[in-house]
């Protein structure tokens, strides 16, 4: 599947939709040269069994709930953007000789046909130029190539058509976070990222995404098939409770760092307090499993070069808002860990909505074009 010609969106109002297995986020706004003028931001539960790991499973139900939200907010723009992440997407890094854009794309297509385990005609190819390099006197381009199944792309295209929207941008979530980091829109009012390397960790419901940056430039990302859903599943499995009870207990955790074992305290093992301690223990073990997988990715980067390091970690995603989550990560890695609590150069003067903007990182990143 060929990529559509990009449309200049500067000064135009757009609607950006980020569908997750658990929660769907919608933002509208105008992308100006130096900032995003945000007008709406809303999140709502994704209909059960309608979306899973990048694939739309129940088109009519998902269409119905999104259509209702768009009508309630009186959103008029038809220009639509979306971001997606899926375990079915395949990524590879390739090196090809420098040349014109057309020549580079042709060489990238040739390379991925040789090295990607996919039938190219069944995928939409999204190439991303990382940097120019000199390889023994030969100028080359280092590129990251992402192949997205056509079925995933077409399902979003059909959804937007059903909603009477004009799909103009199809993006990956890792590319969205890259654009936020490398544009004038930064995190937490950090003035710059010179001489710093850091990881950006998004923990979603069904998966987590780890992106590594150096000096504000994207290096690579990896998808981990673990997310907040695994907490629910482990609570159900080990504590013999319903999924509804598991989610209720998970959201009632007052501090992920609180002490579990107090030798001087006794209580009934069948009491509610005992159950809360069991929930905390299972949740911690699940989070430890995630962090172990993330650490392997960070260690991979660090061991590639003696000068490589990770200075800090940025966190976002619904579950990262759990009380004490950032401190727990900081203790695990012995390095600063920061929740993304604001986005610079995102104007909220006309903003309608009360949620934390960190929920909309992917949707906002998709609005940035380069």
pLDDT of residue 355: 60
pLDDT along the chain (370 residues), means of 10: 59 93 92 82 92 89 95 93 86 87 86 79 86 86 89 93 93 85 66 75 91 86 90 95 93 88 60 88 95 94 91 90 93 93 72 70 84
Strand 51-52 vs strand 36-45: parallel, antiparallel, or unpaired?
unpaired
Q: Are 7 and 24 in contact (CB under 8 A)?
A: no
Q: Which pLDDT belongs to residue 194? A: 60
Query: Residue 249 and residue 241: Cα distance in Å, rounded?
Result: 10
For residue 127, what pLDDT is reported? 86
Q: 123 is written with which tokens?
A: 């995928």
Write down the domain spans for the chain: 90-147, 228-337
Same fold, 90-147 and 228-337: no
pTM, full prediction = 0.86
Per-residue DSSP letter, 343: B
Contact 7, 191 (CB under 8 A): no
Please tell me the predicted confidence (pLDDT) of residue 299.
94
Would you tell me which CATH number, out of the four given (3.30.310, 1.10.3470, 3.30.1490, 2.60.120), belongs to the domain 90-147? 3.30.1490
CATH fold group of domain 228-337: Nucleotidyltransferase; domain 5 (3.30.420)
Burial of 51 per CB tally in 10 Å (0-12, 13-18, 19+) = buried
Name the maximum alpha-carbon separation found in the chain: 73
């Amino acid at each position: 599947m060929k990529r559509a010609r990009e449309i200049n969106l500067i000064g135009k109002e757009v609607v950006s939709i980020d569908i997750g297995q658990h929660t769907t986020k919608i933002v509208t706004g105008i992308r100006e040269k130096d900032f995003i003028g945000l007008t709406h931001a809303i999140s709502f539960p994704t209909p059960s069994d309608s979306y899973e790991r990048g694939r739309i499973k129940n088109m009519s139900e998902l269409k119905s709930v999104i259509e209702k939200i768009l009508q309630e907010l009186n959103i008029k723009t038809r220009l639509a953007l979306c971001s997606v992440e899926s375990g079915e997407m395949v990524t590879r890094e390739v090196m090809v000789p420098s040349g014109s854009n057309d020549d580079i794309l042709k060489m990238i297509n040739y390379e991925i046909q040789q090295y990607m385990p996919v039938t190219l005609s069944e995928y939409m190819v999204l190439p991303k130029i990382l940097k120019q390099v000199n390889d023994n006197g030969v100028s080359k381009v280092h590129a990251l190539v992402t192949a997205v199944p056509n079925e995933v792309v077409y399902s979003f295209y059909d959804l937007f058509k059903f909603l009477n929207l004009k799909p103009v941008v199809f993006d990956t979530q890792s590319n969205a976070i890259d654009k936020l980091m490398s544009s004038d829109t930064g995190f937490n009012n950090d003035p710059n990222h010179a001489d710093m390397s850091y990881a950006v960790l998004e923990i979603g419901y069904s998966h987590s995404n780890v992106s590594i940056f150096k000096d504000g430039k994207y290096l690579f990302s990896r998808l981990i098939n673990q997310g907040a859903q695994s907490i629910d599943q482990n609570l159900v499995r080990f504590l013999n409770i319903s999924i509804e009870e598991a989610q209720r207990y998970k959201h009632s955790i007052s501090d992920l760092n609180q002490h579990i074992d107090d030798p001087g305290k006794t209580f009934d093992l069948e009491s509610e307090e005992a159950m809360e301690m069991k929930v905390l223990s299972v949740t911690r073990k699940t989070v430890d499993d995630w962090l172990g997988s993330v650490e392997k990715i960070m260690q991979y980067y660090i061991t590639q070069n003696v000068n490589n390091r990770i200075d800090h970690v940025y966190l976002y995603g619904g579950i990262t808002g759990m009380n004490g989550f950032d401190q727990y990560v900081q203790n695990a890695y012995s390095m600063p860990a920061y929740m993304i609590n604001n986005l610079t150069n995102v104007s909220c003067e006309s903003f309608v909505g009360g949620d934390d903007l960190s929920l909309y990182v992917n949707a906002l990143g998709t609005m940035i074009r380069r």
